[in-house]
Every structure is written in structure tokens, then in C-alpha cells.
Structure 1
């Protein structure tokens, strides 16, 4: 095996060389037929026989062009120039280079007859929307929308289905303008067939809150809308998959959908013991380490339709989830205190958990008449949870002398239910004016019972604390909200919106902790808390849009009345105050393909009642939280900027975004560590200093090798500066709080190459490298800078007889620090062999191997302030699977052309 690994680069080299020698070049010259003058920058395009774009280039100042590395085959040659006729011809490329000499085309003013161009453009820009013609991007048979998106210039799709476009994360995916399986948008991209898609549209939409209220909050959401072919709006499609393997692993997945114009019905089902509930089990592109001993079952159903001549839109779905797990973990924690005292804690945990939930969601949208619209959203959820945890921990000082030990068994059962609704009504008044009304309510209720049995032992004082309790909890909350907003267009460029909002919430939180021996309530571990909050706010929003310039300025001022009572701890807190949030963003479109945005937000960080309470209910003898009633609000300021530019003809994209935020008068943690390793936590305002952080990200994408390969580059840097107080208290010394200033800097460079053309082989290779620097003003001897890096590669070979072989290789490196002397190397290799059978290639049989060499390292490290930790969990890495998948399709997207 080692020999094979050594020979692999040599094999890949010869494969690449042999491929290069089987390719040819095409050259020629584009001239004006009237005067033989060169047409500079004329576009030369090669399409295959299915009119799919394969190669592209431009003519130079002399009108000459050359396209290299063309695979042998038959092509359609197009030559285009603004205000000139379209030149079209067929051409065969063999193993020899082709010289077309002169191509002469007429100016449209010299063409007497009308010319109708029927060929489709791969990419077009319509206002703020980029539209991709799906037929111009080749995919395999039975490919899904996810595979199509991977082929679109500017798009990337991660192994777990996260989409990025033009350097920004895509948060919404619509099918014909509507959400499909709204509770999980990834269901759409994993199951909708690529051959059913006509167009893919990319744009930025307003936030849901802004669309419902009519007040623009400046938030923009990167959105993909998939336009189906007309013939694809009626049909049945889906897939069935079964997996089985070593370690008694198995998974079964079902997806089925029926489309009938406006009506859409879909169902999903999944059952597996591989730790996932989204149908991604056995995906070669993902990190498939299985944590613990999981078991998952999920069901989902979705219904959409339109009634009364599309005046009423209905979207409803149901989902059921049942999951459980058994897991073991080990943790090591090192706390280095201001006086250089050291507390080391080693702990082990065994956990068993299960959760079951039922959820119903619905959305009704009705057009009452030409000026009135109404939308009703309702949701309901019922769930039960069980958790059984056994923990053992031992703490020692720097010399290895035992300080304390803690053992606990905790068994809990929780049941909860919730329901909410939101009604939105919009009335269009005179031209440019509208009225928006919103009323909503959210109710939550839960009950719990937990049995706690723990023993804490302090070695120096020879003291022990035994807790044997049954804790009964009852929680209820109800939140009513409403708003009224008026929008008025002042002129063609300016719009003013005014709004009023009212919100009232009440919650009760009870916990009775009874000693199992005496039956008495232990007030130290109990609470009887009642929260009452009333908020009223005035919103003002002014927007200006003129040509390429857009500005949004909004201000929200709230008057808040808050009360908290707890009879167990004699807590009675009440406060009234004004709160203000300011938002500003400006957007300037330099051109259709270049855009710059600048935004600023200012908001107050209000101390929560949890931070203000004099005493919180204790959880165990080694941790106690004490509030600070004198806390003041902090002010957070955030500035962000973004520049985005792309070229459709060149296929390039660059995105630069940066942000800087700082908090004045920050609320910081204040930790007291006792000699027996117990901790007391509190909070304090830090005057005269600020917590702040900033970052810069640069992403650049460009096609190479005649646009067959996408080359992506990225760079990012982040810096954070924060504060906290720490004190060590012993019998000999009460100690003093010392202020720790923590500074963290990270810098990373990355690049990737990917080709996906469904011929020969696909590949997606990425590299990244960076450094991390951590500094603390306390314990400066552990300040360090370490190196991090990694690489991953996905390669798919298309073999004869409908065989395919895929491999995914991953490696990451975390360098040593002054505290951790050993580096962490994480490496795994996944391999899959698949065979497509049946005439339509709808049935796929596969053999998969995960972590082929059993080399994955499960160690995790974290560090903050004066605490450093390292953990290991029970993880299954190496296993093998046999899979069968059937893609079925009746009518959807099918054609004979």
C-alpha cells in the first residue's frame, strides 16, 4: 500500500501528460467584411453539439484569436461582435491544430434581411439579478440541482450542502419563487433534478422582517431562485437509497415528490445509525466520522398549492424526528491562575440521550383585492427529551497533589410544547404609500423531572458534600407582539417609513429541589421566578435610491419596563429605561458587475436579569454564580464594508469584505477561583477600555485552462482584544482581582482548483495555511504562535462500462504551542467505486470505504484567557459500506429533443 501511495503522483503525472497530448488548438482572425479591418475583442465561442459552452476566448488588437487544449470532437463555432451579424459554423477538431485563417463578418447596417438569433446565452444580467441558463452547463444523467450549482461560475457547494455565490453564503433557495420544504432548504438542492431546471437566478432579497413590515432594515440575503422548465412543472420524481456496512452500520433514505403546475407534494424519510438525519450518510465529500452510537429516524411531508386564480397560496409541512446516542468523552483542563498556581482537572463522561419531536408549519398568503394582502404563519412543536449522564472528575494542583473530586449521576426527562402565529396585513393606499399591520403570539410550556446524585470531596479540609435530590421544573412563557407601520414615497428617489411596535411577555420558571432522604425543599437549588417585560418602540426609516446609489437610515427607540421576582432568593428587580438602535447602510453600484456597500450599526447591550440577580440557584458545590445589581449597559458599534466585482465574459469574481466592532463600557466576566477548585462567577463593567475585534476577507475566483478549471484564492485576517478579571483565593491570602487582556490574531491563505465537466475526470483540490497567535497579559510565559494548515482533494474518474471511481483525501495540521508540545495531525482517505446500471442509468450500485487507512485523530483543543483544554470523544472512523440507489422520474423534465 505504501508503494502504491508513492506511485500515485507519478501515475497522475503521466495521466495529465497523456491527456495534454490528445488536445489541439484553434486559431484564426476576425475581420470586418466591408474593409478587412480587425474586430478587436470579438468573442469566439465553441459549443458542443448540445449547445453547451465548452471553450471561449477574445480576439486581440489585430483581430487574432487562439483557443488551446481543445479535446477532439465536433463543435459549433460562434463569432460575435457588437452591432455585427452572428457568425456560425460547424467544425471538427482532430489531433491536429486548426488554422481558420480569416473570418469575415458583416456589420448589421449592411445586412438587409432581419437576423433572428436563436442560441441561448449561458449567463445574462437582468437588473440586480444574475441569470444562468441551465442548458448551457453540462451535468451527468440523473444529476441533482446540487450538481448543477457546482458547475455555475461563481458558485461553490460544500460537502454538507452549504452554498456560496459570488463570495457570499446563500441563505435562501426557492423553487419557482416559493420555498420547498421550508424547514430545510437543502432538501430542494439534493433532490430536484438538474434536467428539470430552466434558469438559476441569483439576487439579494430583503429580510423577511423588512418584507412583512415594509420598513427596510438594510439586511440583504443572498438568494437563489430555481426556475423550472414548463414541462417540469408536472411529474413525479424522487430517489430511494439503502446502505449497509461493517460495524453493523445501515441507512435508508426516501424522497418522493409530485408536481402538478401549482400543486407540489413531497415526502422524505430517513432511518440510520450513522449520526445524521438529513440523508447525507455515506457522502464521500463529507467528514463522516461517527460520534458515539447514534440512531436517527426522521419523516417529513410538504404540500404547496394555489387556489382562487392564484389569489390564495398555501404552504404546509410536517416533520418528525427521533434520535438517540450513547457516547463517552475524556477532557483535560488546565487553569493557570494569576499567582502562577495551577489547577489541573481530568474528567470522564458517559452520556445517553434521546429526543423525539413533532413539528407543523404552515403559511397562508391571500390577495384580498388589488390593494390588500394578508399572510398568516403558524407553527407548532411537541417534543420529549431524555438524558442520562455520569461524570467523574479529579482536580490536582501543579505538583500533582489532589485538591478535589466530583462524581455525579444525572437523569432527566423533559417534555415541551410550543405554538405561535403571526398575522400580517398590508394595504396599499395612494400611489407609493402603504399601511402594514402585524399581530403575533408565541407560547411555550415545558415540564421536567431530574434525579441528581453527586458527591464532592475536598481533600485538604477532608470535607464532602452529598446531594441526592429530585428536581421538578415547570416553565411557561407567553409573548405577544404587534406593530403598525406607514410607508410613504416622498418622490421618485425618497421613501419615508414610520412605525410603532408593542411587545409584552410574561414567563414563570419554577424548580423544586427536594432532598430524597428528608423530602424537604432545598432552597439553595430551587427557584420560583417570574419575569414581566413590556416594550414600546418608535421606528423611523428613510431611504434614498437614485440611479446607482442607495442609502438606508433607520432608528428604533424603545421604552422598556422590566420586572423580575423570585420568592426563594428574595429577589425583586424592577427597571424602566430608554433604548436606542441606529442603522445606516449605503450601497453604490459602480456598474452592473461592480458594487460597494458600507454599513454602520450602533446598539446597546443591556445587562440581563441573570447577570443582575444577587444569587443564582446553585448547580453543584464547585460552581456558584453571583449577579451584580449595579451593572450598566454597554454600547456596541459595528462598521462593515464590502466590495464585489465580477466579469461574466471572463468568469472572474472578487469579493472583499471587512468589519470592525468595539464595545464601550463592556460587561466582562469576573471569576474567583478558590483553593478547593470551586469557582464563583460574576460580572462587572470595565470603564476606560473596550472589547473590540476586526477582520478582513478577500476571495478571488477566475477560470483557467480555457475556462475549464476554476481557480479560487482567499486570504483572511482577524484580530480580537478582550478583557476579564481573575482572582485566586486561599486560606492564607484573599488575593486581588487581576485584569487579563487577551489578544488573538489569525491569518490564513487558501486556494482551490476544481473542474467538473462529466468527461474524463472531475477534481476539486484545496490548500490552506495560516498562523494563530494568542497573547494574555497574565501568564505571559504561555503566549505562543502556532502554525495551522491543511489540504483536501476530491477526484472522480469516469471509466468505461458506466463505472466511476471517486476518492476524497483530507489532511489538517495544528502545530504545537508552549503548553501543548505535540502537534495534531488529522488525516483520512475515503474511496468509492460505483456502477450505473439500466438503460437510463437510474440505478447505482456502490462500494465505499471511509478512513481507508484508519488514521483519523479525534483530539480537540481550546484555549481562552487562563483556561486551556483538550478533549477526546468516542468516534468511529474506519468502516465500509455497500449501497444501492434508484432515481425514479416520470415525465419531470423529460423530452425527446
Structure 2
């Protein structure tokens, strides 16, 4: 099968690349203005006269010359556009000559008189202004009822991943806006997956300023790839949307709806869905809801100055909230029932901007999994763990946000934003874990039955004030932020742990029956100030100050069941408070001129960690932690716009992260008798040295794109967890500092059209080399992993009624262990896939996607092949094709299952999960079209 797919891919490439020269010719010409000046960089396009569909495109060279080579000998419409000039078009008829020389093509300046002239010409399929590429959506045909995601697939220079991620011009799209306004926050998929393609007039792709640049008013040279969707007039003056209802075999069902109502100043949208087909729609934000949102600041943008790592709190074990792993919306992870809905509102009258949204998500998930893991020890031995488990998870969460921006006057701006979350849920975990010695004999086994329930609340509020002085380049900004989060969890833990020394009968038995209650409260107050002063034409002096004060209070009560009586376990119960004070004062000098942005800065950073801990609040004997850390933090960044859509960047930074209060506590946590944790009060902060360099080039004339980047990280005083494993394979971990861990990553992407508007090839590759250090039974182990990834994707749109997207991805990971070289191994994960859409007569469409996944680890005899084929046929009917009837077959071969394999530190693991497999569904969709506008725009 793999050979067939590769042969098909190669054949498609050959078909696209080998254009026949018979009956073809070349078109040439020179573009000038009325005074005889040549116009370099003008956008030139060949269109078919009958429907203005795009055939070829390009830009004039430095001499204003245009050339279209090897085009069919038919009549074309030549379209030329240039900023400040009236669009030019001319019919080009074939000649008997090999070259059709058009001579001088004169464009007229767009002066005031010409504004009164109505030009009835076909709109250009695309136009290029600087680094902005604008597509005329109506020139790229998609089936009725398609989403924006389907439209983006047809646009030159755009790629859509299987997970819905978007790449434009070789770079990841960070933000999608609708008429320049946010749509459900900054999640790009909310707009592309819910808005219909027929609502879009234009798609604009450009490099936007970073969030900090927009707030401070200072260009930091950084750019974020952004897509803006401009709505048609008809959809700005009325409501539009889509509703779907479906039922299938095995009691499968789904329902979803979206409705949008926009005008010039306001946008309102609602979305909702419910199903039992593993479509959760969950985002990374949803996952944080399940954790109580205590470990992250949600990427807030109210902290000024270069990044230090100290302003963001990573998941380090400070919080005691109950955690679980949600399904993530994948079809290959168990079985889920999902319900979600939300609303988004925008208001914009130039001086006042308001964005607010609310989203609710509920998921019930069942996971039946079997995993095996092999741990390697320092004496050239190993032990194997088998885990047969069932997980039942329920999660429900509410998420809301508000962003208000007010331009007080020409010099002062106020921004206020608030993000709030509330979540609740429970999870049940039943497992049989068996541990086997190197010779295959059973060492011990555990039967676990745990039940946890939790709820969490978090809110973040920030206010930012910005003042622009009358002196150009002088700016001041200040912010204040208040975050509060609270989580509560109740757990019921039961396990039977049997240890075998000889024979099949247990020689030792340990029963655990405990209940625990955990309350965790966190408050954070932050403030930042930022000032920039130009002291020369090209130089700016910047200074900033960051302050943060965080308080944590965690109370965990653990009780042992003894018959019907619960007895407090003072060894596992604990109460602690933590006060964390952060100060950072920094300054930098910026050079900015003609696209070159160079910054060199230094900051002094101080952590103060004050904490106390005991078995409960009433204890008279509190342990105390009082630590102060200081470090100098350098930062150098280089961003250079080389013009012609070429960008070069480089960065060196140092980030510092304090130890968690949990890791610092010198107490023993044996709540899991097979995995015991001990704190270390002598830990030092972790320091990360990060260096990166990247180059990107996008040629808007032929839509060739190239991107390459290199990233390197070196760890100093990295906090690792040393392991001591006894003869019963009970693991005891203790955090400690070590220097020497490192990671090097290289990524490259090259895309180019094999045949313009018909075939585009994208080739990408990544190399990752890492070295992780830990100690196993007091012996240093270095785990070196070399990972190689190569991928290729071909986008074929040979005719309007057919699209075909074959792809392949090869991943090889070589892992080497210094303590046990005999266990060195190679993991191979390969993926081959294709998507196809066919339009038949009478508004009948066929859609299919195929993926073949391969998982191989010869060292352990692991070889799994999973072919997945989904197919659908649908027909459009009713007035204006508003109705759609669809029959879908999921997983035709009935082969779907979840498989993962992973190697790290001193272990390798594989997991297989039962999941949703073959089913059939019949669905009906109704498209609510926008009302036609009574005002028609004039084209110029």
C-alpha cells in the first residue's frame, strides 16, 4: 500500500511538472505609466474571459517587464494592478509566433477625476501590496456550503493541516480576524471552521505587529502572520449561518449550528454542537480549565520588556488541584459525548473597541487502554510494567473574556481585559499494574480504584494605559493585573499492592484505602511600566520595570480508612503557604532604520521565596523556606526586513525559573506506594540559555516560499528528578540541580507551484537532537535522542470539479542510553495520506480522506499498521442550494485505534487505546444565507 501511495504521489508530480509545449506560446510586455516611467513589481495576471478565473500570475521585474511562458494558445484577459494607478486590462489573442510581444502597456494614475469613473471590469483574483496578499474569494471556486477552511485550501500560498492549523507563505498563522475584529478571541480555527466560504469577499494575508507592539506603540521588529476575512456586503447587512442534524449506526448522532449577524460597527456570532462521535472542539484553554488554571497566566500581554521566563508560571507542581487528561478532541482516543456552545460580540467605532465572548464545553470520556513500559537500570538490567486500565472522565467548564479599548484622545489609550473560567468534573481510574523482572518473573502487582472530583475558578483582570508624547518615538505605558484562582478536589483512593519474591503467591501485601481533600488558592498582583526615548534619528533607549507578588495557600487533608472509621494521616497531610515576590528592572538600546531592528538589553532579576509548611494549620511546628535569588538577564534580538518579503531574525536570551515550593519541601509523599517523592530545600533556580536564528522568503510573483530556523537551548542548574529503584521496583524520586542538558532543533520548509493555480508542492523537514541527564540508582544516565522528520504535500486542483491533496510524513527517532547501551533503539512512525473532492453533475459531491499510519520499534517487536478511510457523498437541493443531504462512512476498513510510542530518559513505552471505529451517518444541513444589501459598491 505504501508503495502504491508513493507511486501515485510521484505520478502526480510528474503529471504536473511535464507541461506539453505543443500549441503553446509566450506572452511578453513592458508596463509603464503615462510619463514613460517603468513600473517594477506590478501584479500581472492571466484570466479566462468567460469567468475571470485565474490561469497564471506574476510580477513585473525591475525594468517593468512581464513574461508568461509556455501558456496555451487561447485568448486571455490580461489584468495589471499597481498601487496608485487605475487597474489595466487587455484582451490577448493567440498568434502564430512563438512569442506574442505586447509592447508597452500604459497605466493611468488614479487621480481625483478618475474617482468619478465607474470601471466595469472583472475584479483581479489576487493583488499584492507590499507584504500583503489579497485574494478575491469569488475567483476560487468551492462547493456551496463549504467553510472558510475549504476556501483557504484553494488559495495559492496557503496550507491547511489535518488538525485545522493554518500556514500562509510558509509560516504559521497566529490570528484570524473578521473585518479586522477578533472572533472568539485569538483561536484561528473558530473562524475558519464556523464561517461559510460564501460569506467572504476577500482574504488578506499580511505580517501584523506583535501584541506588545500594538499596546506600547513601539515597533519591536517582530511580526505575526495574520489572516483577515472581509465579508461580502450581503453578509454585513443580515444574518447567515448553518445548522446540521445527523443520525447514524451504533446510536451515533450529531447536531451543530452557527449563526452570525454583522454590520459596519457590530458583529454577533453564536456556535453550538452536541455529538457522541469524538468531536470535542477542545482547545488548549479548555485543558487548562481542567487543571484549575493555576499553572498558567493564559498568555497575558500586560508585562512589558523583553522575555525573561520569570513572568510566566509553568506547571511545576505548586498547585494541588486534581488533574486528568482530557481527550483533546481526537477520534483515536476512547469514546466521548460532547456538548458545547458560545457567543461572540464585537463593537468598533474607531475610538472604542469592545470584544467579549462566552464558551461552554462539556465532555464525557471513556478510555480503555493497555500500555507497556520498560525501564532501564544502571546494572545493565531492566524491568517491564504492564498496565491495563479504564478511565471515566467528566468535565464541564465555562469560559468568558472581555477586551475593551478606548482611545481617550489622540495621545492617550486605555485597554482593559478580563478572562474568567469556571470548571468542574470527576474522573474514575481503575487499573491493574504488573511489574516483571528482567528474567520475566512477576515482581509485584497493584490493583487501583481511584475516584476524584473537583471544581475550579479563575479570573484575570488587567488594565493598560498608554501615552504617546508629542515628540515622535517617545512613549510611556503602564499596566496593573490581578489574578485569582481557587480549586477544590476530593479524592477516594483504593489499591491492593502485592509483592512476590518466590513463587506465584504474594510474600507481602499492602492495602491502601484513603480519602483526601485539597483546597488551593492563589492570588497574583502584577504591575509593569515601560518608557521609550529616542535619542538619535535611528536609536531608542527603552527601560522597564516588572513587579509581581504571588501568594499560594494549599491545604491537603488525607485520612486512612480503618473499617468504618477515618483516621487522619499526618504523614501525607500537609498545609503550606508560599509568598513569591518578583522584581525585574531592565534597559535596552534599540537601533531601527530601513527594516533593520537591533536590540541589546540587560535586566536585573530577583526572586524572593517565603514559605512555611506543616501537617495542618494548627501545627505549632512549622517548617520554613526563605530563599532569595538574583540573576543578570541579557537579551539580544535582531530582526531585518530585507525587502521583497525576505526576513532575517536572530535572538539570544536567558530565562530563569524558580523552584516550586513543593519541590523545596523536605517531606516524603508516599501517596503512591510504588512512586515515592521527596523534596529538596537546597534547590537553585533553573537557567535556560536560548539562541535562535531564522530566515524566510516569500516570492509573491510566483508564490515560492522558503523558511528555515535553528533553535538551541542549554540548561544550567536544571531541576531533574533522580531515581532510586529498589529490588521491588519501588521508585523514589528527589529533585536536584544539574548542568548540561541541551536541545538543538532545525526546521525547514520549501513550497513552490509545479503548475500555477493547478499544482503546488511543499517539502518540509525537521531535525531535533537532545541530551537529557538524570541519575538512576546514583549512576548518571545520559539519554540522547536524534529525531528526523521529512514530509511532503502536494496540492492539486487540475480542474474546478476536482481537488486532490496527497501527503507523506516520515519520522525516525534514535534513542541511546549511557547506562544501558544494549537497550538503544529506533522508533519509526510514518504517515501516508490523501484528501480528494469531486463535483459531479446535478450538484452531487464526493469527498474522501485516507491516512495510513505505521508504528514500528524493532527492538521490542512492535509493528502496527492502521489504514483509515473516510468517505462522504452529498447533494445540494432546495432554493438557492440551501439544503444539503450527506451520507458519510467513517473508518471504512474498521481499523481505527489509538497507538502511541515514546522513548525518554531511562524508559520506552507503548500504549494502545480502544476507540471509535466504523460507523455510518446520514445528516441534513440547512444554510442560512445573508440578506442582499441594497447598496452596491462601485469598482475602480
1:511 paired to 2:556: yes
Residue 548 (structure 1) aligns with: 595
1:614 paired to 2:616: no
Residue 187 (structure 1) aligns with: 190
Distance 1:21 1:471, change over 3 A: closer
Q: Is the deviation greater in 204-213 or in 443-452? A: 204-213
Residue 344 (structure 2) aligns with: 302
Does structure 2 conserve the Cα–Cα contact (< 8 Å) formed by 1:84 and 1:106? no
Question: Structure 2: how far apart are the matches of 1:571 and 1:245?
Answer: 61
Does structure 1 conserve the Cα–Cα contact (< 8 Å) formed by 2:31 and 2:66? no
Residue 731 (structure 1) aligns with: none
Question: Structure 2: how far apart are the matches of 1:17 and 1:679?
Answer: 59
Question: Structure 2: how far apart are the matches of 1:567 and 1:59?
Answer: 75
SS of alignment partner, residue 190 of structure 2 = helix
SS of alignment partner, residue 369 of structure 1 = coil
1:751 paired to 2:803: no
User: Aligned-pair distance for 1:700?
Assistant: 0.8
Deviations 1:164-215 (A, max 9, x none): 1122211211112221111644221123333433433333334434543567
Residue 668 (structure 1) aligns with: 720
Does structure 2 conserve the Cα–Cα contact (< 8 Å) formed by 1:142 and 1:193? yes
SS of alignment partner, residue 795 of structure 2 = strand
Question: Structure 2: how far apart are the matches of 1:414 and 1:87?
Answer: 66
Question: Structure 2: how far apart are the matches of 1:466 and 1:489?
Answer: 70
Deviations 1:629-670 (A, max 9, x none): 222334321111111112111121111111122113433331
Question: Structure 2: how far apart are the matches of 1:7 and 1:696?
Answer: 28
Q: Is the deviation greater in 766-775 or in 415-424? A: 766-775
Residue 276 (structure 1) aligns with: 279
Residue 572 (structure 2) aligns with: 525
Residue 760 (structure 2) aligns with: 710
SS of alignment partner, residue 801 of structure 1 = coil
User: Aligned-pair distance for 1:678?
Assistant: 0.7
Residue 53 (structure 2) aligns with: 52
Residue 477 (structure 1) aligns with: 522
Question: Structure 1: how far apart are the matches of 2:16 and 2:214?
Answer: 56
Residue 342 (structure 1) aligns with: 382
Matches within 5 A, 1:831-846: 831-846=871-886
SS of alignment partner, residue 212 of structure 1 = helix
Does structure 1 conserve the Cα–Cα contact (< 8 Å) formed by 2:221 and 2:639? no
When normalised by structure 2's length, the TM-score is: 0.84
RMSD: 3.8
1:657 paired to 2:658: no
Match among 315, 334, 337 for residue 292 of structure 1 = 334
Residue 264 (structure 1) aligns with: 267
Does structure 2 conserve the Cα–Cα contact (< 8 Å) formed by 1:232 and 1:894? no
Question: Structure 2: how far apart are the matches of 1:615 and 1:264?
Answer: 55
User: Aligned-pair distance for 1:623?
Assistant: 1.2
Matches within 5 A, 1:733-882: 737-756=778-797, 759-818=800-859, 820-882=860-922
Residue 292 (structure 2) aligns with: none
SS of alignment partner, residue 567 of structure 2 = coil
Question: Structure 1: how far apart are the matches of 2:340 and 2:46?
Answer: 48
Question: Structure 2: how far apart are the matches of 1:121 and 1:541?
Answer: 46
When normalised by structure 1's length, the TM-score is: 0.88
Question: Structure 2: how far apart are the matches of 1:244 and 1:894?
Answer: 40
User: Aligned-pair distance for 1:262?
Assistant: 0.9
Does structure 2 conserve the Cα–Cα contact (< 8 Å) formed by 1:229 and 1:893? no
Does structure 1 conserve the Cα–Cα contact (< 8 Å) formed by 2:885 and 2:923? yes
Question: Structure 1: how far apart are the matches of 2:864 and 2:341?
Answer: 39
User: Aligned-pair distance for 1:300?
Assistant: 0.4
Count of matched residue positions in the alignment of Structure 1 and Structure 2: 864
Question: Structure 1: how far apart are the matches of 2:542 and 2:461?
Answer: 25
Residue 589 (structure 1) aligns with: 641
User: Aligned-pair distance for 1:686?
Assistant: 2.8
Does structure 2 conserve the Cα–Cα contact (< 8 Å) formed by 1:330 and 1:349? yes
Match among 362, 380, 403 for residue 420 of structure 2 = 380
Distance 1:531 1:78, change over 3 A: closer
Question: Structure 1: how far apart are the matches of 2:81 and 2:441?
Answer: 82
Unmatched segments (≥5 aa) in structure 1:
281-285, 728-736
SS of alignment partner, residue 644 of structure 1 = strand
1:642 paired to 2:715: no
User: Aligned-pair distance for 1:163?
Assistant: 0.6
Distance 1:48 1:160, change over 3 A: farther
User: Aligned-pair distance for 1:407?
Assistant: 1.6
Does structure 1 conserve the Cα–Cα contact (< 8 Å) formed by 2:141 and 2:800? no
Q: Is the deviation greater in 558-567 or in 220-229? A: 220-229
Distance 1:313 1:849, change over 3 A: same
Deviations 1:694-750 (A, max 9, x none): 1221211111224411111122222112211101xxxxxxxxx11111111122222
Question: Structure 2: how far apart are the matches of 1:17 and 1:739?
Answer: 55
Question: Structure 1: how far apart are the matches of 2:220 and 2:628?
Answer: 26
Distance 1:104 1:516, change over 3 A: closer
Residue 536 (structure 1) aligns with: 583
Deviations 1:422-475 (A, max 9, x none): 111122233232322211111111222212222222223833222222211111
1:246 paired to 2:298: no
Residue 455 (structure 1) aligns with: 496
Distance 1:559 1:216, change over 3 A: farther
Question: Structure 2: how far apart are the matches of 1:664 and 1:63?
Answer: 56
Deviations 1:34-84 (A, max 9, x none): 9xxxx99996723343433223479999998643468x8x74245899999
Residue 722 (structure 1) aligns with: 772
User: Aligned-pair distance for 1:848?
Assistant: 1.2
SS of alignment partner, residue 275 of structure 1 = coil
Whose relative contact order is higher, 1 or 2, with alpha carbons under 8 Å and at least 6 apart? 2
Matches within 5 A, 1:66-465: 66-68=69-71, 75-78=76-79, 88-89=90-91, 102-106=100-104, 108=106, 120-182=123-185, 184-213=187-216, 220-278=223-281, 289-306=331-348, 310-431=350-471, 432-460=473-501, 462-465=507-510
Does structure 2 conserve the Cα–Cα contact (< 8 Å) formed by 1:405 and 1:457? yes
Deviations 1:5-43 (A, max 9, x none): 9999999999x9999999984425547899xxxx99996
User: Aligned-pair distance for 1:231?
Assistant: 4.8
Residue 306 (structure 2) aligns with: none
Residue 27 (structure 1) aligns with: 25
Question: Structure 2: how far apart are the matches of 1:661 and 1:764?
Answer: 36
Match among 476, 494, 503 for residue 539 of structure 2 = 494
Does structure 2 conserve the Cα–Cα contact (< 8 Å) formed by 1:410 and 1:453? yes
User: Aligned-pair distance for 1:506?
Assistant: 0.8
Unmatched segments (≥5 aa) in structure 2:
33-38, 284-327, 616-620
Does structure 2 conserve the Cα–Cα contact (< 8 Å) formed by 1:275 and 1:296? yes
Residue 734 (structure 1) aligns with: none
Question: Structure 1: how far apart are the matches of 2:934 and 2:757?
Answer: 29
Residue 885 (structure 1) aligns with: 925
Does structure 1 conserve the Cα–Cα contact (< 8 Å) formed by 2:236 and 2:261? no
Question: Structure 2: how far apart are the matches of 1:487 and 1:63?
Answer: 46
Does structure 2 conserve the Cα–Cα contact (< 8 Å) formed by 1:123 and 1:648? no
Does structure 2 conserve the Cα–Cα contact (< 8 Å) formed by 1:671 and 1:725? yes
Distance 1:441 1:101, change over 3 A: closer
Question: Structure 2: how far apart are the matches of 1:257 and 1:437?
Answer: 36
Q: Is the deviation greater in 641-650 or in 602-611? A: 602-611
